[in-house]
Structure 1
Amino acid sequence: MTHTPLPPLLSPCASPLVLLEHVNLTQPDQQLATLFYVVGLGFTRDPFLMVGLDNMWINVGRTQMHLPTRAPQRLRGRIGLTVPWLRQLPARLEPLRSALAHTEFELRTVDDTLELRCPWGNTFIVHAGAPQQTLPGIAYVEFDVPAGTAEGIARFYADGLGAPAEVWATQQGAPMALVKLANGQSLRFAETAAPLPPYDGHHIQVYLDGAEPAHRRVQALGLVRRDRGPGDWRFVDLVDPADGRLLYQLEHEMRDLAHPLYGRRLVNRNPGQAQAAYRPGEDELPAG
């Protein structure tokens, strides 16, 4: 059943999916990636891991963008971000237009959000953070999926991963599978009649509380590809549990809460700090 259009941001709920920790998109140029993610958006390159030229991790609050240095990948959809500095963002991004003029970079205001395209055409929808929010974050990832797949995708997440999943509607009225995470994040699968490009291998990473039952169910469907046990496994194919029909492809890197990277402290600089008006003690954003 299709409901009314979904609000842009959600509240915490009961779900075994605890955290959408990162989105992995390859990109060919770390200088351009630094201009967009660090200088423009105000995020922070992880100073401890992946500091070479073959990969870069960008800290976005308690979440990350992973950006291996290879031919660019394009997510078939949109990444929803929340930031405490939405009003300041256009002034920070506008000066980058000339340096990014030869790329697919775009910037426009849509209602009370900012819609961006990175230098390689990936779309970001940037929302204002909640009044007391001090850190940025990935709030949701919305994928374009073929017509007639939303209900089956919702069943896959509900039956396979045990997550709250239902069918709502996009702002345009198309069916959309909504998968809720415990912290208020969500995965969204919006039906479209437009042709979709072939899947190019980008992936997301999700932490599960009590991963063993989900691992067992997805394994029984024959979908687990890299299997290091319930604590670290991957799958790509989303199928309808009702008939086994392949609905969509998206690599999921699944980890349980015992994984050593879960809860790792991520450094987040204060993008408002400046040399000319330096304020001691305000280099890093508070984690509250």
Structure 2
Amino acid sequence: MIDMIAALQPLVVGAVLIWSARVKLFSRHAAAAAGRTALARLFGQRRALPAYRLLGGAELALGALLVLPPVRLAEAVAATALAAGFLGYLAYSRRVAPASSCGCLSARPTPVSGRGLARAGLLLAAGGLAGLADGGWAGALAGRPAAGAAVLAAELAAVVALSPELDAAWLLPLRRLRARLTRPLRGGTGVPLLATVQQLQLSDAYRRVAPLLRSDVREHWDDDGWRFVGHAARFRGRSATVVFAVPLADRQPDTVRVAVVDDATGQTLLGLAAPAPPAGPRLTVTPV
């Protein structure tokens, strides 16, 4: 199994290098991307673009050699050295110019992060493993096509996951899909949280405790026909949580109840219960 994995590494590293070279050599935003990298600090603003292009040319040449059989030991050694150079350059960029862009797999401005360093480490390990291969990747895939395809898919998925500059292509769509499926602003009853917040903000209970509030909605949950909405608060110098109880079936603000709970002890410090008859006070304050 290890021989098959080792034989596939030149294809993985070569594909990543060719993709990276595409950005440096053919992107119309290459000049701007080069100016945002640490190359401008290393070589000066005027020489940043030529250095960026030169690096792209080296990546393209080495990537093509790795992808096209046969793969020689010298190519694997060169790939390992280049990955080590990437790792050192990214570490330098993060330490000396933390606001600089990676400029690796996309022209999109992307600060150097731990994910980028991990990706360079992955390529370094892949290059070292490629030096152990006895045969080419084509033969390894032909001999074990299912296992080989699984290894390639896993490694390329790891490269994509460790590439912040590619998040817009896969991570943001996944987050939007999750938001559409889970509808985080709706409770289990289908009543929007915004509608609940509007109802409680129109209530006397909310107006009475509003000076205590120190946050927006921190949590909410539904139970037995009520929606409970929690806010951070301060009550007589103590950290507390204000919990509003809003009936899901009644849209009237007067039905909102509230309690102030001590964060340290769980004791109810103040409760505003249901309103009294119309001739009297609408809400009764009951200190505990």
Q: Give the TM-score normalised by structure 1.
A: 0.25
- Higher-Rg member (1/2): 2
Structure with the largest fraction of strand: 1
Q: Give the TM-score normalised by structure 2.
A: 0.25
- Higher relative contact order, structure no. (Cα contacts within 8 Å, ≥ 6 residues apart): 1
